[in-house]
Amino acid sequence: MKLNLIAGFTLAFMAVTGFSQAQQTAPAQTAPPAQAAPAAAPVAPTTNYDYHELFGPLFYNKNGNEYRAADGEPGPKYWQNRADYQLAAKLNDVTNEITGSETLTYTNNSPQNLGYLWMNLEQNLFKLDSRGTAIVPLVGNPPVATSRNWGRGQDFDAGYKIKSVKVIGLKGATTDVKFLISDTRMQIYLPAAVTANGGQVKLKIEYSFISPNYGSDRMGIQDTKKGKIFQVAQWYPRMCVYDDVYGWNTIPYTGPGEFYLEYGDFDLSITAPANHIVVASGELLNPQEVYTPTQLKRWAEASASEKTVIIRSAAEVTDPASRPAGKKELTWHFKIKNARDASWASSASFIVDAAKMDLPSGKKSIAISAYPVESDGVEAWGRSTEYVKKSIEYNSKQWYEFPYPAATAVAGIVGGMEYPGIVFCGYKAKKGSLWGVNDHEFGHTWFPMIVGSNERLYGWMDEGFNTFINTLSTADFNNGEYARKPGDMHRAGAMFTAPGLEPMMSQPANLKERNTGLLLYAKPGAGLTLLREQILGHERFDFAFRTYIAKWAFKHPTPEDFFRTMENAGGENLQWFWRGWFQHNWRLDVAVRDVKYVDNDATKGAYITIDNLEKMAMPVILEIKTVSGKTDRVKLPVEIWERNSTWTFKYPSTEEIESVTYDPDKVLPDFNPDNNVWKKQ
């Protein structure tokens, strides 16, 4: 679903010398001395463009305030709540049941007292009577209820079994509290409110669930020759976000929208059969208890190696000596700090390899891959750790340093899904496609793991931003081993703005599923490419984008926070762009209408007229070719459309013009190329 739309050059705004006149709306101007006025151009065609609409004021919903400043950064009184988790889980690999215990410390930094809490119970999506199951669309002939992202009711006793919810007192005593489960949410009624400005409550929750075989492409179980692979996510009751924008964010989890979560520290203890290897978010704290002495030496080698080091080979997978002896099960202890989630995977079938990652600050981190024998080989997962390492190193240098002690890619049934420090990718992925999915899923480290936007409402703020940074990391990897040529933005523009397509700012659950890839991934990714390549230029864009990431790292930005930051740090009023490309589904169609010569003499200069026929505008790029074969480029700023739908400018020709071509490199999203070229008759 990703488009590689890296443009071939940067827009440089240039002043156009000589006479310029807006034929349609500006007052008539006197021609320069000794020059006759240009001959009348052909009548302007009918246009849908309204410059008052595109460039109008009042784009933002409100002024900046003490919580969210006008320049897009968190205000002096910005707050967000915090959720710290101690999680213990036990895997039964025969029944597929996961039994868990959660100790949650919730800190209320808001200015309101909170008398009740809301938690997410995403496993309930897979119940036969869930809302997500009810809205799975019928597809095909005969119609079948199928979807990658919506819930599909599982034909077993799916969903959470909440055994108890207790409040833990100051001296450790526990008290049962009332709770109410409504589909994928649980409301907890507290005996006393969590006080504002730093009050805390500690809960203990006992629960269990049976893992679905295929969990909406976010978790599941893959059978392999050497055993099941469990990719485990959304595996504990998770706090809903309470913020200054909506209060409690309690949108039901029906499948399409992903997650919006609080930050905190996670302490994980995962108990699995002793022949399993477990990988998880964060740092493994007890490697000496769960790996053999030989494997520990290999881990030490990998932590200092630029090349991939095998920790457990394909030949060792079925060898009992590759696991600690004398135990039926082992408990793996992991920790990750300042994260918004944690996930894990477990299997007896795992090959494991690793290599160190070189981060800008010198901080230590390691790239890890875990995959079955079916995925082994240099054309497949044998290069996974190389991909993880290079992707994270590039994005750490380019945008913001990777914050976690490990980055683990796990092969399994899931085609591609991201969690802090760990991603799940398809076990059948090969070479270039594996680079793409690893790079994309670990790109999510920056959006939304570091910059914690609300995926339930604004999926484009994580998928689209990530799609954009993927184009740059792919161009960089191994001298562009998997890079594509720049795309044709004319064709893409036609797709992005097709009539009837929903606006990109729509909630993910409010989009037709077939439009998700276009509107959450490709169009916002292309929008950032346009900003970088054609509107701001690399230096201004990169500074503004880094500023946005740094200001909102481990916080909760809204679209307005992003828009304001890019404008303030980039030094450009971009409200026309946000309005046309993000808020609306407006099309771009610029036509080259006519060329006339001063005094009918090509050596004295030419008047070139262009028209904006649709509701969107962009800077203008024109290629001018003369009869002798010479070519020249003219670039005009977007401001020519600020109060005009037609623009005429003087070009200093010295001979007849053979052709004028609008957007010759097809880097602008003009959906109608048929009127982009004027040719000498």
pLDDT tens by residue, 193-250 = 999 999 999 999 999 999 999 999 999 999 999 999 999 999 999 999 999 999 999 9
Question: Is 28 inside any structural domain?
Answer: no
Q: Is residue 396 part of a domain?
A: yes
Query: CATH number of the domain that 645 lies in?
Result: 2.60.40.10
| Angle in degrees, CA 332, 333, 336, rounded to 5 | 135
Q: pLDDT tens-digit profile of 64-83?
A: 999 999 999 999 999 999 99
Give the pLDDT score at 12.
23
**Is residue 243 domain-resident?**
yes
Average pLDDT over residues 589-614: 98
Specify whether 152 is located in the same domain as 266. Answer: yes
Report the domain count for the chain.
3
Q: Say whether both 228 and 307 belong to one domain.
A: yes
Give the strands of the sheet with 185-194, arranged side by side: 179-182, 185-194, 114-120, 238-239
Give the whole-number percent of the chain exceeding pLDDT 70: 93
Place of tokens 């909630």: 507
Residue 114 inside a domain? The answer is yes
Name the 3-class secondary structure at 417: strand
| Interval 448-472 mean pLDDT | 97
Please write the tens of the pLDDT for every residue from 85-102: 999 999 999 999 999 999
Place 41 in a pLDDT band, splitting at 50, 70 and 90.
Answer: low
The pLDDT score that the predictor gives to residue 150 is 57
Per-residue pLDDT, averaged over 162-183, amounts to: 96
Cα dist from 592 to 342, 621, 675, whole Å: 55, 11, 6
pLDDT of residue 38: 52
- Whether residues 545 and 607 share a domain: the answer is no
User: Is residue 155 classed exposed, middle or buried when 0-12, 13-18 and 19+ CB atoms within 10 A define those classes?
Assistant: exposed
Q: Which pairing describes strands 264-273 and 82-92: parallel, antiparallel, or unpaired?
A: parallel
Question: Where does a domain end: 431, 452, 473?
Answer: 452
pLDDT of residue 139: 79
What pLDDT sits at residue 332?
Answer: 98
137-152 confidence digits (pLDDT tens): 787 788 777 776 655 6
User: Does 564 reside within a domain?
Assistant: yes
Least confident range from 43-52, 131-140, 608-617: namely 131-140
User: 573 and 591 share a domain?
Assistant: no
Average predicted confidence (pLDDT) for the chain: 92
Domain around 534? 483-580
Would you state the pLDDT for residue 145? 72
- Work out the average pLDDT over 465-486: 95
Please indicate, yes or no, whether residues 563 and 643 belong to a single structural domain of this protein.
no
Kindly report, residue by residue over 293-321, the tens digit of the pLDDT: 999 999 999 999 999 999 999 999 999 99
Say yes or no to pLDDT of 36 above 60. Answer: no
Tell me, yes or no, whether 294 and 315 share the same domain.
Answer: yes
Confidence of residue 192 (pLDDT cuts 50, 70, 90): very high
Query: Do 572 and 536 meet the contact criterion of CB atoms below 8 Å apart?
Result: yes
pLDDT at 19: 22
- Bond into 448 cis (ω within 30): yes
User: Which of 534, 564, 580 lies at the terminal end of a domain, its last residue?
Assistant: 580
- Same structural domain for residues 610 and 555? no
**335 to each of 107, 342, 442, 568, how far by Cα in Å?**
19, 9, 19, 38
Please indicate, yes or no, whether residues 354 and 490 belong to a single structural domain of this protein: no
Domain annotation covers residue 468: no
Distance CA 174, CA 190 (A): 13
Q: Which of 148-162, 171-185, 527-541, 548-562 has the lowest mean pLDDT?
A: 148-162
Q: Among all chains, which residue has been given the structure tokens 């408990």?
A: 331
**Greater pLDDT, 516 or 15:** 516
Residue 23 has pLDDT above 50, yes or no: no
Matching residue, tokens 């207790």: 166
- Which sign, positive or negative, has the C-alpha torsion 84, 245, 516, 547? negative
Instruction: Kindly state whether residue 32 falls inside one of the protein's structural domains.
Output: no
What is the band of 10 on the pLDDT scale with cuts at 50, 70, 90? very low
Give me the mean pLDDT over the 11-31 stretch: 28
With respect to residue 637, please indicate whether it lies within any of the assigned structural domains. yes
pTM of the model: 0.92
pLDDT bucket at 44, cuts 50 / 70 / 90: confident
Residues 410 and 546 in one domain: no
Looking at the structure, tell me whether residues 435 and 358 fall in a common domain.
yes
Same-domain pairing of 670 and 541: no
More confident residue, 622 or 14: 622
| Token pair listed for 304 | 């200092």
Domain boundary among 580, 615, 635: 580
For residues 311 and 400, membership in a common domain is answered with yes
pLDDT of residue 142: 81
Instruction: Give the model's confidence band at 59: pLDDT under 50 very low, under 70 low, under 90 confident, else very high.
Output: very high
